[in-house]
Amino acid sequence: EDQVTQSPEALRLQEGESSSLNCSYTVSGLRGLFWYRQDPGKGPEFLFTLYSAGEEKEKERLKATLTKKESFLHITAPKPEDSATYLCAVQDDDYKLSFGAGTTVTVRA
């Protein structure tokens, strides 16, 4: 069974204070690892897909990296608008996603 563990559960940052979120996973036949952002009361918003170890992707202040066992989402110089819950998910060959519980990030001005 695919398993995804995210840490920490919650992260409180000062504006401009960079940090990283961790996503550890076990999966048989990884098709891709996904990062999503979810705001309260809304569906997940796609951020990145990573397919192989060593891959990196960036979008504005976010950078995602992937190894064979985990992925990191780095937030550089965050702003209050980066406050959200960040979800990690692994996808198997049937396109089925298994989600982690998420990391709730709060950025204070």
Partner 1 sequence: GAVVSQHPSRVICKSGTSVKIECRSLDFQATTMFWYRQFPKQSLMLMATSNEGSKATYEQGVEKDKFLINHASLTLSTLTVTSAHPEDSSFYICSAANRGRGEKLFFGSGTQLSVL
Cβ 85 to partner 1 shortest distance, Å? 9
Site string (24-63) toward partner 1, x via CB under 8 A: -------xx-x-x----xxxxxx--x--------------
Cβ 7 to partner 1 shortest distance, Å? 13
Sheet-wide strand order for 19-26: 3-7, 19-26, 70-75, 62-66, 56-59
**Site residues for partner 1, window 70-89 (CB under 8 A)?**
87, 89
Cis bond upstream, residue 8 (ω within 30): yes
Pick the binder of partner 1 from 23, 66, 100, 107 (CB under 8 A): 100
Site size toward partner 1 (CB under 8 A) is 24
Q: Name which of 27 and 32 has its Cβ closer to partner 1.
A: 32
For the stretch 91-95, contacts whose Cβ atoms lie closer than 8 Å and that sit 24 or more positions apart, written own/partner, are: 91/30, 91/31, 91/32, 91/33, 91/34, 92/2, 92/27, 92/28, 92/29, 92/30, 92/31, 93/29, 93/31, 95/31
Summarize as ranges the residues that interact with partner 1 (CB under 8 A).
31-32, 34, 36, 41-46, 49, 87, 89, 91, 94-102, 104
